[in-house]
Amino acid sequence: MTMNVLVVRVFADEGGRYGNELGVVLDTAALDSGLGPKLTAHLGFSETVFVDRIDDDGAHVRIFNPTAEMKLAGHPLVGTSRVLAEATGTQPARLLPRLADPVDTWAEGEGPDRVTWIRANTVYAPDFDFVQHNTPACIDGLEVPPIEEQAHHQHWAWIDEPAGILRARTFVGRIGIPEDEATGAAALRQAQRLGREVTIRQGRGSVLHVRPAETPGWSEVGGRVVLEPARVVDL
């Protein structure tokens, strides 16, 4: 099986650096879901997305980590929204994950300051254990624990609480990822936990913007998306 994988970095910083890599494959309705985790592991990414089809309802997608199909994930949906905007010339209004509620999506700004957003029902996001620390330096000093000792943990601390800026690192050994560079699903959960708009600086330098939505239990997460060269993968 040969696949053309469109690659982006999601939640880049103000200079277009960092972000979490994502692979997106178009026109995948005929592909078995078992290929999704295999492709993700082959690429060494935390997630990939299959776009099965686009119709009047929106873009029908499947989200995969290295071990399974996921109900909802943040950076894959933000990244897929940008990929489809580039591929079709039109910003999609709705993404339809196979295992979750529809996800609204839109973009704000232009050029390198363009921020792509999604609005999602957080009930479908993976659960995380949130561990608060006293200072950002505590987060920076964390060593990545052995993968068998990890589950779904985000460690975080305020950088500037009045301004709503926090530092975070996320370990997700349950799905075979030692450290996730930028975790949109955890950000969606944080917006609900904190009940306010925040900016999360995660990993090496990724930047996520997140806020509770007007609908109870829903959150919005957005960030910069940088296009990378496509890859041809033989599985």
DSSP per-residue codes, 175-229: GTEEEES--HHHHHHHHHHHTS-EEEEETTTEEEEEEE-SSTTEEEEEEEEEEEE
Mean pLDDT of the chain: 95
Q: What is the pLDDT of residue 96?
A: 98
Q: What is the pLDDT of residue 127?
A: 92
Q: What is the pLDDT of residue 147?
A: 65
Question: What count of Cα atoms within 13 Å lies in the side-chain half-sphere of residue 149?
Answer: 4
pLDDT digits (tens, 9 = 90+) for 2-59: 999 999 999 999 999 999 999 999 999 999 999 999 999 999 999 999 999 999 999 9
Q: Are 15 and 79 in contact (CB under 8 A)?
A: no
pLDDT digits (tens, 9 = 90+) for 173-188: 777 788 999 999 999 9
Question: Tokens 């370990």 identify what position?
Answer: 171
Model confidence at 148: pLDDT above 70: no
Q: Are 92 and 85 in contact (CB under 8 A)?
A: yes
Domains 2-103+223-234 and 129-221 share a fold: yes
Q: What percent of the chain has pLDDT over 70?
A: 98
203 dihedral zone (left: phi>0; alpha: psi -120 to 50; beta): left
The closest alpha carbon to 49, from 69, 24, 21, 74, belongs to 24
Q: What is the pLDDT of residue 173?
A: 78
Model confidence at 149: pLDDT above 70: no
CATH architecture of residue range(s) 129-221: Roll (3.10)
Cβ–Cβ contacts within 10 Å for residue 91, how many?
14
Q: Is the pTM of this model over 0.75?
A: yes
Taking residues 188-199, what's their average pLDDT?
98
Domain ranges of the chain: 2-103+223-234, 129-221
Model confidence at 160: pLDDT above 90: yes
Q: Which two tokens stand for residue 111?
A: 């050029």
* Among the four given CATH numbers 3.40.50.300, 3.40.605.10, 3.10.310.10, 3.10.20.90, the one describing domain 2-103+223-234: 3.10.310.10
Q: What is the pLDDT of residue 140?
A: 96
